Chain A
Amino acid sequence: MILYITKRLLQLIPVILGVTIIAFSLIQIAPGDPARTMLGQHATQKEINEIRDRYGLDEPIIVQYGIWLSGVIRGDLGRSIITNDLVVNEISSRFPNTIELTIAAMIFAILIGGVAGIISASKQYSITDYTVMGVALFGISMPVFWLGIILMMVFGVILGWLPIGGRIDLFIPYQRITGFMVLDSIITFNLPALVSSIKHLILPAVALGTIPMAMIARVTRSSMLEVLRQDFIRTERAKGLSERAVIYKHAVRNAMVPVVTVIGLNFGLLLAGAILTETVFSWPGLGRLVVEAVYERDYPLVVGCILIFAIIFVIVNLITDILYTYIDPRIKYE
């Protein structure tokens, strides 16, 4: 197993090289340049040239990539052209926010979607089944942006139960240790901060998690249905086990493999693709960072972010594959 994991981790290298070369080239080929973003409508040719010179923007792409790569090997991802801050700082200040939101969204999606799918499968063709699947269809079809604003309006303005965006109530003092606000509040025994950060997580997690929830519900249902048809289920029932035991103790575990696949895929997608949710809820995450960096042609920041996304994807895939071996002992890797 260790060997297998090592082999998979080594595969990170060609993936990173490939992804970053493509990203680097694409962003350079796109018209527009960061000098203009910085100078705006007041650009003089002299200043544009100076900036392009300072950042080596007129060097051939291969040379620029080589310089960037040699920095990466030393752990230096360069500085953002627009903000002048280290790319590592820009990413690390947003990274915990994105992870926390994604985990919260996935918890919501797995709990609600999983349970819905199981119930739906065990009561196939009943009203419950149709309702659940109807809601799932609705969930997949709803635009995240619209859903987010509706949630904010209803729960934030009309009912006043939950906050409108942000990560925490700015009046509450808190100490940042890891950057994961919920975790930091627990570590520092800061109850007001804990409650506030959880309250701020709810709406964006629901908005972001709705589509994965719907997908998980459907996959769980179809996977469960397949398992429930199998002979060994009939055997368990014949043995006299309660229906609940049959479903939760035996069927679910067997149905997990396709569901874990979907969860793994969604986790990776959510990490990079939460831009709309982040915008609506003013969540300072990586999605917004990378999109703005692209608009501003902030090359070092764009490529740095994509590097991180590539690493995350590979690792999430690896974890998913390892999880299979725990769910289904028949799956083994050399």
Chain B
Amino acid sequence: MKKIFLPLLCLLLIISQMTGCVEEEKVKEKILIFGMSGDADKLDPADVTDGESISRMDSIFESLVEYTSGGTDIQPALATSWNVSSDGLNITLNLRENVKFHDGTDFNADAVVFSFERQYNTSHPYHEYGEWAYWGYMFSDIESVEKSKEYQVIIHLKNPNAAMMTSLAMFTVAIVSPTNAEKWGEDVFKHPVGTGPFEFVEWVKDDHITLKKNDNYWRDPPKLDKLIFRVIEDPSSRLLAVQAGEIHGMEYPDPASFDIIKADNDLQLLSQAGMNVGYLAMNTGYGYYDDNENGVRDDDEPWVKTPGYFEPLTNVSVRKAINYAINKTSIVENLYKGTAIVAKNGMPPFMLGYNDDVEDFEYDPEKAIELLEEAGYPNGFNTTLWVMPVSRPYMFDPPKIAEAIQSYLADVGINVELYQIDWSTYLEETENGEHPMCLLGWTGDNGDPDNFMNVLYGPNSASIGTAGNVAFYNRSEVQDKFTQALKIYDTDERSRLYEEAQVLIHQDAPFVYLAHATQNIVFRSNVKGYTLNPTERKFFYEVDFE
């Protein structure tokens, strides 16, 4: 055995040096490899809700409108201009001409109608091939989409919806090639064909997805020749790969590694305020059963006690006390490691209608104890805090944050037991109102305030079993404001309504708003041109190597 071992080793070393020749070739083609924390589920933009799938498709597909660089305002994309009828019920969009899908077929009104109709029309031949998970939730106000000319469509709404234009920038309504969908049928999720700057090449499951430059893109072609998304689940391994230069960028760095990244001259850390909020929700007691599944609490759907009803938390003084008892600044500095800003409202500061005049609860344990005494709990009480076991964009390490909260509350006499269960069950149980208190949060979908406020804090959303409003906050005036703000298109008026709502929410204190986490991406220093977007979608069109 010894006789062959040494020569074999020498041979292997010699061969490995020979492959150095191949590596010189790759410099001529500009290939960027980006590290992702998980694989995509499906590559059909209308059929997914998860960030991993969406991230790959941001470069393949486009929608009628798109976000401005780094923001959530919208600008023309596949639509060149539009107008909204005076009753707010019809949006007419003129479409861009001379745009081709990656399979060579034309982009036109038929393609737009197809992309929308397969989601809402139950008799559409392709309706059965997807779950269309976002449609019911964000686009149910759309009655129909009609082709009025070869390059013009009209979207008919059931109700006026001021958030709809912004929602049209979402991936859910990205325009797909009907020819391609017809070719692949049920398997279309593996063969994405859009109009975007990059074309799909291959998908090796759990390993990588390769895209290549679209030479026929309707704008100038992108600077990169190839874009490869590589799956590296573990954040430490992911960072090691960037440090070694094997990949050129990555998402979701562990905040604990920020010092290392900042100290490394070969790396750059891009950060931006995230469109999210992390909070502690206190179950204020009452929800309703949405029997007719219309998303609205009707008169025949009364308020009933939620399974997690807990008397002390129905008292606003108790909820305020809990707000005063928690040192949010310390949590953000030490547990978020500075990758967040302290939150005082339910949506981040750059959103339309943010009320900066609201004064946050200061860290004041003595005041907390005082309020508890007033409320009739001089000795505090015992309760349970639901904690999610997974890292979320708005909360990197929920168990640690829960421990900190536990400790702060213990200081004022509230003894909290922590309850953890897997993410899927966690969502089920909290949406069912089984918790007295829970940690949760939200990443915005489209950049519109309604997407935060109405979904999370509106009483209509306090439906037991599917609650987005996990504090089961049920003040009706707040719902009135949200409903009104969605119907009117005047931004000043909308802003005023949301600001008023935030004041009421602050008074009732159903939540302890903890933080708005920043979005962080790591790149090697020689990568230029990437701009973070608040929606966390990933746009590589402008990216180049130095």
Contact = CB atoms under 8 A, between A and B. Distances in A.
B230 A166 contact: yes
Given A42-B137, A165-B237, A36 B293 contact: no
B16 interface: yes
Contact of A42 (B12, B23, B133): B133
B234 A280 contact: yes
Contacts of A196: 19
A187 interface: no
A282 B232 contact: yes
Contact of A297 (B138, B206, B237, B424): B424
B22 A44 contact: no
A100 to B, nearest CB: 13
B204 A32 contact: no
A311 B269 CA distance: 47
A171 B207 contact: no
Contacts of B16: 195, 199
A44 B23 CA distance: 51
Contact of B186 (A44, A84, A152): A84
Contacts of A34: 424
Contact of A47 (B31, B136, B442): B136
A37 interface: yes
Contact of B228 (A170, A192, A288): A170
B422 A32 contact: yes
A191 B133 CA distance: 46
Interface string A79-100: 0001111000010011000000
A289 interface: yes
Interface string A192-231: 1001101100000000000000000000000000000000
Interface stretch (A57-65, A153-161, A255-263): A153-161
A94 B207 CA distance: 10
A40 B240 CA distance: 31
A157 B267 CA distance: 14
Interface string B178-212: 00000000100110000000000000111110100
Interface string B422-448: 111101110100000000001001000
Contacts of A39: 49, 131, 133
Interface in A53-72: none
A77 to B, nearest CB: 16
A175 to B, nearest CB: 12
A38 interface: yes
A281 B424 CA distance: 26
Contact of B205 (A94, A170, A191, A296): A94
B33 interface: yes
B280 interface: no
A288 to B, nearest CB: 6
Contact of B33 (A36, A51, A170): A170
Contacts of B186: 84
Residue among B47, B133, B231, B421 facing the most chain A CB atoms (10 A cut-off): B133
Interface in B9-25: 12, 15-16, 18-19, 22-23, 25
B34 to A, nearest CB: 11
* A interface SS class: helix
A44 B422 contact: no
A170 B15 contact: no
A46 interface: yes
A41 B186 CA distance: 26
Contacts of A192: 19, 22
A50 B138 CA distance: 17
Interface residues of B, number: 63
B374 interface: no
Interface stretch (B401-409, B461-469, B501-509, B526-534): B461-469
Contacts of A170: 31, 33, 208, 210, 228, 230
Interface residues of A, number: 60
Interface in B256-293: 290, 293
A289 B233 CA distance: 12
A1 interface: no
Contact of B18 (A30, A164, A191, A297): A191
A39 to B, nearest CB: 5
Contact of B49 (A42, A160, A282, A285): A42
B23 A156 contact: no
A138 interface: no
Nearest to B423: A295
A171 B236 contact: no
Contact of A153 (B18, B19, B240): B240
Contacts of A171: 22-23, 25-26, 31
A40 B136 contact: no
B243 interface: yes
A44 B132 CA distance: 12
Contacts of B492: none
B244 A157 contact: yes
B466 A164 contact: no
B91 interface: no
Nearest to B245: A160
B50 interface: yes
12 contacts: A30-B425, A38-B131, A39-B49, A42-B138, A42-B468, A43-B466, A50-B131, A149-B237, A157-B240, A165-B241, A195-B18, A288-B233
Interface of B: 1, 12, 15-16, 18-19, 22-23, 25-26, 31, 33, 41-42, 47, 49-50, 131, 133-134, 136-138, 186, 189-190, 204-208, 210, 228, 230-234, 236-237, 240-241, 243-244, 246, 290, 293, 295, 421-425, 427-429, 431, 442, 445, 463, 465-466, 468
Given A153-B240, A195-B18, A198-B12, 13 more contacts: A45-B466, A93-B205, A157-B240, A157-B243, A160-B244, A163-B246, A164-B244, A167-B207, A199-B16, A279-B234, A282-B231, A295-B422, A295-B424
List the 10 shortest-distance A-B pairs measured between CB atoms, nearest first.
A284-B206, A32-B424, A32-B425, A171-B26, A284-B207, A164-B241, A282-B232, A31-B425, A42-B137, A93-B205
